[in-house]
Chain A
């Protein structure tokens, strides 16, 4: 079951890389976060780790529901460009993405050898990190760059739950708090009201 959701996590991120519409990208980010939340719940149940169960639920509520909702409302409020064509052409992306995956598995081999549990998941989370960076790089618009940053955070969360069997609860909650702060700052960055007042 965990393998299935890890696969979905990676697949949703790859699909997001090819998406040309903003709302669809938000939907893929939401799905990506949902699979992450479910993964945290599954691994948490397996390890009988209550802290991970709580962070799993928080991930679903905040990242899969809350953040996409806020970003969608920002896009309506500030009239974002909804056609977001990636700068990297599809035919090149098709070659680049598997290359990143293979490269990451090769690169992460020494690390995965040292991690007792879920070693393949660690390689997947590192490759997700690179794919998220690619998502940030391949778009000129700000909104997909934000999604890339949030996906990067998802990849790090996945690395946290797979490589270390969960980070301390305090750290996880702190990261959620910082994410919410990031959303507030993003909102203010889009705000042009003061520009008119100045």
Chain B
């Protein structure tokens, strides 16, 4: 099974050395093979030990891996026509595939790991491989942002390692070297003799992860990088890399819930609400697609973290799935929208003729309206369930009124974002001049995959699966 998981990435890595443009097509189709092992992992009885106690599949990571695989396929399809929209050299194109494969390997390790150390190694590998993907764009801005990502990303990842060491130090007296094992740590969380040390470690890990996801105070660094790099990089960031980061947050926070739930909730609540507060105003001021979607991604990740620590596991996972499909779809659409009029929002959705063109603007409209939680978007349901979970948490304490006030503030902030997206959509559809524009079949195919995946999320069997994840 492990071999099957890594096989598509290894084939892509190998084929990237062939100096022929004809390899692009098979590369995209090879990525489909990842669905075989990931679908099988969803079906198998859990926990399934893939590699001893190091890589263990449970319902949570099987779901995250499956979602990430679909995103990976979508991005691989869109990559086929990258050179039609942007100027990219042959060497850089091949290297992009090479680092895409390494990125994929790192993420499989990260998502499936039941070991803090392996989780970190996988995440670091994925982070480093994205540095080169950013640099594939030969602009000075991309070169600067690649260095920026290298340095800020390295600081974030170092913070995560720092926190892991502290958590390991807190649990080693009772578990020995097994203190790196997530499941064992969760089972013995209440026995940790230095909970304070664990909590410091958790706080440091969380800050590292929050920096990587663009939370307060690093709200703009990710948006700037995604703006400077080619659009598939932004899709990979939002759809896959952030998935690996958030699954780590899920794992660590589950243990922190056992150690001291009140501390965890207060810390994450303040951090995420502050992030959404700042991001909503940044979105309001945004003037281009990439930054708009990127900042909206930060808002979604903050909501996912908030719902998760509020006990709304189902809401968090549904929101996560919707975010993972919607954001890459929008970023890939941006590549098409911008190639015919840089940064021009007005009229961006006009001029797409024929069956392909009509389907394209219809899908983009669908994604834009779904991302602001209009029903029947999965995000609508996840927010309803998530806010419900927050009220349930407050019911058990003495802070019901405070929580309701916080939810009200959040809704006001979300309505600012809603207003901006509607304004952007109207400008794209009804303003500006009409120019004839082109969309390629592979891009359309990838958007159709994302649309079907979104619809699947609100199907009863998928919802039941998500409700079963604890």
Residues on A close to B: CB < 8 A? 110-111, 114-116, 129, 133, 136, 142, 145, 149, 152-153, 156, 159-160, 163-165, 167-168, 170-171, 174-175, 177-178, 181-182, 185-186, 188-189, 193-195, 197-198
Contact = CB atoms under 8 A, between A and B. Distances in A.
A160 B200 contact: no
6 contacts: A111-B200, A114-B170, A129-B158, A156-B161, A164-B169, A189-B147
A30 to B, nearest CB: 20
Contacts of B143: 189
B151 interface: yes
Contacts of B131: 185, 189
B191 to A, nearest CB: 15
B117 A170 contact: yes
A95 to B, nearest CB: 24
B151 A114 contact: no
Contacts of A178: 121, 124-125, 128
B391 interface: no
Interface string B50-68: 0000100000000000000
A177 B129 CA distance: 13
A177 B169 contact: no
Interface size bracket, B side: 35 or more
A198 B162 contact: no
A110 B135 CA distance: 43
Given A170-B117, A171-B118, A181-B128, 4 more contacts: A164-B169, A168-B180, A185-B150, A198-B89
Given A156-B165, A175-B121, A194 B89 contact: yes
B124 A163 contact: no
B121 A198 contact: no
Contacts of B197: 111, 114-115
A175 B162 CA distance: 13
Q: Which 10 A-B pairs have the closest CB atoms?
A: A171-B117, A174-B121, A114-B194, A163-B169, A198-B89, A178-B124, A197-B89, A164-B169, A149-B154, A198-B138
Contact of B151 (A136, A160, A167, A185): A136
B53 to A, nearest CB: 11
B87 to A, nearest CB: 6
A191 B128 CA distance: 16
